[in-house]
Structure 1
Amino acid sequence: MRLRSLEARLTLWLALAALTGALVYIGVTQWPLPEMLAWLHRELGLQVATPNRVEAVMICVAILAPLSWWFAHIVMNPVKRLLRALEGAVASYRDGDFSISIALNRHDELGDLVRVHNELGQTLREQRQNLAQRELLLDTVVQNTPVALVLTDGGGRVAYANIAARHLFNDGRSLNGLHFATLIADMPEALRKATEGSEDALFSVEMDGSEETFHLSQRAFRLQGRPHRLQLFRRMTRELSRQEVAAWKRVIRVVSHELNNSLAPISSLAHSGAELARRGDVQRLPGVFATIGERARHLHGFIDGYARFAKLPAPRLAAVEWQPFLDALTLHCRFQLAGQAPPQPGWFDPVQIEQVLINLVKNAHESGSAPEGVTMALNLMGHELRIEVADRGPGMSEAVLAQALLPFYSTKRSGTGLGLALAREISEAHGGRIALANREDGGLRVTLFLPQPGTSTS
């Protein structure tokens, strides 16, 4: 036990109080009070009786009560001062003021508490300073980003907007406190419709005499317990232009490569046929003409594939009975049906979806999978139809999976890179999507997700 600890000090004060009480009792019952009363009786003739035991106790209580209060005041006064200081410091922390420190030079437990409190205040001050610096950095980044950022509260009023948003929606003036729906009431219809929805969107508007394309990303969340909505408007015109140029370059490279692969042998064979005809060697001419015809048909099919991709019509949605659809599909490709078809008819364009499934099943067979390993599964999950084509081939690497759905990307020597891209285009035209994934036990799984109106699982 430390000599300067509160426990040691309290022990000393209690011992002193006990000793004082004993001395007071002895003074009242033994000496000097009885001797003084006897002297008064002897010298002055005063008749003062010596107090009995009860009177002695009452006299001791009368003397010790104020003395006890004084001892308690001495013991508790530093604790009370510290509690008041701590109360003020906690109130300051509650109000966000961490500059309060307590000056108390003690070497006991109260001194340790004050020291820890001051260290806590110093830590909170440093953390707040670091947080303020990070907030300043974040605000600088957000304010100067070219992406227009608008944060609205539950009532639709703007709580925060960066510089790009102020220039986009209010000619550079502040947006704080303005109702966002009123602010964009005179904006182009495409922008208003995009902001009315809850999903990300890509839209184009007329600005400064030219068409500008934006990507809108929006999220709803709760900030300090209240609903808020964050909207990010990113200009995509330059990026889309670069992507368009890159896509055209890929198209030109693919088309040039395929044309050269077909026109070069056709030109060579035409020259050889002319030489054979000049020399009168007509027996070899049918073979030359057949090869020329085969290369011409290949070139025609190649060009026709590009034309169909570029001129894909809007889907004609209709109710499709599964059994006739699957019977027609088996005439073009071979697959194993996994499970049963849904009892409800499907809702899609049968011609386009049939073309997609023919390409997917053909790719599955070309992967090297055994014929019995190529399967198709049909599942109705809520309001979504899932058509899954799977194989037992080697699957795809992560790099190929990331680019397999891009137009003109192909790992085949004679591939056009349009099969999966056409499947993606058709599924998105239906309001759905397509996903590729490797199977855990080997092979590839391609899944079409197609929305269905008002259906549910049985």
Structure 2
Amino acid sequence: MRANLEHQFSLYLLLLNLVITGLVFIVASLVLHASYLSIVLSLVTFISFHSIAKWQVNRVMGLFRRVNIQLEAMQQGDFNHQLKPHFKFGDAAELEARLVSLSERLHRDKTQYNRQSFVLYQLIDKLPSPIWIFDEVGKLSYANAAFELIYQQPWQSIKGHTAAELDLEEYQGEWRFGTEQRRIHWALHSSEFYEQGRRHRLIIATDIRKVLRHRELAAWQRLIRVIGHEIHNSLAPVSSLAQSLQSKVTQPRDSNALAVIEQRCTHIQKFVSRYSQLSKPLELHREKLVLSDLLMSIKKLFSEMYEDQHIDLECSVRYCKCDPQLLEQVLINLLKNAFEANKAHQPVGNHVGINAFYQASHVVIVVTDQGGGFANLDNAMTPFYSTKSDGQGIGITLSRHIIEQHGGYLSVSNGLQGAEIKITLPN
């Protein structure tokens, strides 16, 4: 049988009260020589001491009850309930003071922890990479805005889904996407952390396309430098020699041939010089741009150049932080390609769409045409590749370079009627 402090304390006080009452009865009998008075005095003594003992037991046990309530509140993380000290001196007062001090310290720690958690979650929200947080039972408990870049919907709408339902799987100790299409675009990294004593799993996705593009660009830059150097060294004397021979030939046919040689040398040198822009880092001058104003200006420009073409413009974006001149250069280049694709297609297309909207704290601009789409998507952004007879294969590649310098990315695909080019910029 377990010891009960309250019952033991009450029993000890009752025994003490009986002893005192017995002594009072004996003394009263000897002094008063009256049994009735001795019994009355003994009963009064017993009742008085019993009331005092009961009050003391309740007072001591009340301390334990208050301590127990305070500990339970602290265990539940509720610091609104605070123990009120009832004793001023002694061990009980020291116990109450220490418990109050402990509660206040835990409250400060919890407040600081909540602040740190708030800052952490704010940081997660600002990161451009998609992040998932799964609770101890493996269900989605939190994600950042970039989650929408993958699933095309806010994470709140599918909160509580499992990793498998979100196309995530653990394979040989590593996390990855279940579908191949997402797997070739995103690399996943995971870690575990504890929050309020519960284990959580954090998964972050890295867009490997940017890494691959950076390596690809570095390779092209090295190639361009080598090719450019060799072409300039080879064409400079050819062009100079053609100019020198112009004054010595007498036949118009020879003169025309030399003129063509000089013209083609100049053209190739300009082409190499223009393409070498890809090997130079851009100097961005970012500013807060009213995107609708820029799009309306470009629409007006092309409406005057292509009277038989119509631009369908939709813009729900207010501001965009970017380099206005470079973004304008990209959009002009893409729209020019769209109009040319419309004219070259049979039947001739006459509509180009521009749609700007927010997605996962990013600004997205989509340009569509009715030109039948890309004949070869795999080579659509390959430098030097072009299906146009007079194309140089630099336009989309340079546009992608500009967008990636902004920290965004440019993707191409084929829509229902033609090409679809999507620009994604951090907001």
Which of the five TM-score ranges fits, normalised by the shorter chain?
A: 0.3 to 0.5
* Larger of the two Rg values belongs to structure: 1
Question: 1 or 2 for the larger relative contact order (CA 8 Å, sep ≥6)?
Answer: 2
TM-score (norm 2): 0.42
TM-score (norm 1): 0.39
